[in-house]
A and B are shown apart, each in its own frame.
Chain A
Amino acid sequence: MKRVLAALLVLASTAVAGCGLNRPESIVDKDELVIGVRSDLPSVGFRKPDGTYEGFDVDVARYLAARLGKSVSFLGVLAADREKVLMDGRADMVVATFTIDQERKRRVLFAGPYHISYQDILIRPDEKIANVRDLEGRRICEVQGSNAAQRVVAERGVKAQLVPFPDYNRCLTALKDKQVDAVTTNDVILAGLAARDGSGLRLANALFNEQRTGVGLAKGDVPGCEAVNRAITAMYQDGTAQKLLRKWFGASWLKRGIVAVPQFEGCS
């Protein structure tokens, strides 16, 4: 009798243990998260000389990790690395101006968006450009590896002239030297560049091409995605989102539009 009982107990416990193994790994089950943030964008995700990171995305990442009750360490990433570090497991989460699109969604699961940004135009202080249509016949800086300038011509059908440059720093110099009339990309990136430059370059507040900036997670981590979405909701409900936007982009940033919790992409 006792032997039968023991055998049955062993069987049952094996079955229970087996069930536990079926669940895919989730950030919910971890104590420490490695979060990928940009290392090259001032005010957004930037690696300081002492090796620490700062910026809007970095603060958002810290808030989300704290909400999930996890400790955090950062991994600096560039635009091209963001999918890779998630897929090979070097990062558990990516908060790095990662725009949600249907193509990326095949390989990455997106929580959020935690921020809606727009494509905007950076101009000289005396410039009159207010709208993407005003770029007609003007010279736009085209940064290698970014399709933002291309989109103005191809998608919006604005006949602007594209002038190629290797990176944003040289773009800004060209803008100040009147070699180009505008630099266009994600508004938070432009705001960060303008703030660091400090010579009075300003945003046109054109707000075209809505970009939904999400939190990248490994594909299949649905519980993690749902937990991050709840944390993002809390970030907006407790006023942190507004506070962080003001901290990194200035009080005037809040006048660009209403700060409210974005419409989530959904985790399934």
Chain B
Amino acid sequence: MTMVRPAPGNAPVPVTAAPAPVRRSVPGRIRVISGITAASLVLLFAALAVGTISAREGLRVIGRDAGPQVVATAGLYLALSDMDAQVANVLVMGTAYPDQRRDALARYERQRAEANRTLLQAFELSGDNPAERNTVQSVLDGLGRYEQLAGRALLLNEQAAHPPGPPPDNVVRTYREATDLMRVVLLPQAYNLTLESGTIVRATYDSQGVLAPLARAAVVLAGLVALACLVWLQVFLARRFRRVFGPALLVATVTTAAALLFGTSALGRDEAHLRTAKVAGFDSVLTLAKARAISNSMQGDQSRYLLDKERADTYQHTFLDRSLSVMYTEAGSLPEYHTAVAGHTTGYLGLLGPELVGRQGEVVAREYRRFQAADKAFRDLVTSGSTNEAVAERLGPVKTAFDAYDRALTELAGTHQKVFERSIRGGEGALDNLWRLLPFAIGAIGVLMVAGVWPRLREYR
């Protein structure tokens, strides 16, 4: 574009007019055009900087704040829920199963430590969000009370020395207090913390969805204006000074064009990475964390169903309710659900529905069906009055089936977690490159502008 040679006749050469004001006006106009060009360049780089900073903030919130918060709070829920399930397991074992009892108590201790660790982490990550901090604080307080109650139930249980099956009433009453505290107060708060992280990600992602295209449009607009100004400056200089090229300004123009192209593409890549991180990574990680949490409570409901006769109906209904939310099929009662799920192999609804695709998804679906089949066998034993066998079933095949299902869920979540982390790193990489190159581009264009304009101005000295 700088090749355009203006027709000599067109050049308004000041011959007859008073020379002095015209000579003053030429450097004046150079200064004005240069000023406009510089201003538009500042605008371009400001738009690039603002776009980069806002995109980086989006990546930070989603990738470094809310993302890890989901993992921490889901870990908290699982640890808490498993603590209560282990206590229930020990209570139904009675004086039998010494090995399993030791294992269950050891696991209780491990999960307690894990709960404390994840609580601290959740507290750190909650930043200055007062509602979240209150929630973490409340879980912390409740956990202390829960440990006391659970400890008392375990002690009373030991003193009662009962055979496998439901423990004596005083044990059940104490455990009821503990499990109510856990299920009604602590677990919901942990679960809601996980959801809150989802809310933060959704809000950040949506606002990025509006801001990022705006920033990119601003960059393109400012870039085109800057390029037009540079061309204008060169055309003006070429006409005034009868030179076809100003090499410095030519290079400045090319550098500006490159910065514009590179900048918009980096911002575009960042948007794409963010979209992948959210849609293919985070959303699934969050859903699977919720499914894992609910499923873990289901296996606790099985032990509680076994140990608390009076509330058995409530616990069975809760189990059904949770089953329906994890994988939905129309069923009014648990036996109906068992039958429906056993024959159900495609088109899943409920929380897991959209996640059960691909090979890993199929594995999860299969293991879930096995877990429900084991549940049916277990409940049949309870209803037929075979308490000993029911306890053995709960601690044996049901546990094995649940563990296999939980493992499949974890692996599926791991795959999405990797996609999430890779996309966040990819987005950050694109921005890092842009951020590193920006100062060089600004410096180079500045120097070239001066090199291109200064000699012309000096001719008027």
Contacts and interface: CB of A to CB of B under 8 A. Distances in A.
Interface of A: 1, 4-5, 8-9, 12, 15-16, 19-20, 101-103, 116, 118, 131-133, 151, 154-156, 207-210, 212, 222-223, 226, 229-230, 233-234, 237, 257-258, 260-264, 266-268
A210 B210 contact: no
Contact of A210 (B131, B314, B330): B314
B155 interface: no
Contacts of B314: 118, 207-210
9 contacts: A8-B221, A102-B350, A132-B313, A154-B333, A226-B203, A258-B184, A263-B187, A266-B198, A268-B202
Nearest to A207: B314
A102 B184 contact: no
Q: How large is the interface on B (under 10, 10 to 19, 20 to 34, 35 or more residues)?
A: 35 or more
A258 B185 contact: yes
A264 B195 contact: yes
Interface stretch (B102-110, B113-121, B317-325, B416-424): B317-325
B192 interface: yes
Nearest to A16: B214
Interface in B261-285: 283
Contacts of A1: 228, 232
A133 B232 CA distance: 90
A260 B185 contact: yes
A155 B318 CA distance: 12
A229 B409 CA distance: 27
A234 B213 contact: no
Contact of A4 (B187, B228, B310, B330): B228
A260 B313 contact: no
B180 to A, nearest CB: 6
Interface string B214-247: 1001100100110010001000000000000000
Interface in B168-207: 180-181, 184-185, 187-189, 191-192, 195, 198-199, 202-203, 206
Nearest to B138: A237
Contacts, number: 104
B135 interface: yes
A208 B184 CA distance: 15
Contacts of A131: 310, 313
A103 to B, nearest CB: 7
A237 B188 contact: no
A260 B202 CA distance: 26
B19 interface: no
Given A4-B228, A155-B334, A234-B131, 9 more contacts: A5-B225, A8-B224, A102-B350, A132-B313, A223-B206, A257-B180, A260-B184, A261-B188, A263-B192
Nearest to B318: A210
Nearest to B314: A208
Interface in B319-342: 321, 324-325, 328, 330, 332-334
B290 interface: yes
A102 B188 contact: no
Contact of A209 (B199, B217, B317, B324): B317
B213 A19 contact: yes
Contacts of A263: 187-188, 191-192
Nearest to A234: B131
Nearest to B329: A102
Contacts of B206: 223
B202 A15 contact: no
Given A12-B217, A19-B214, A230 B131 contact: yes
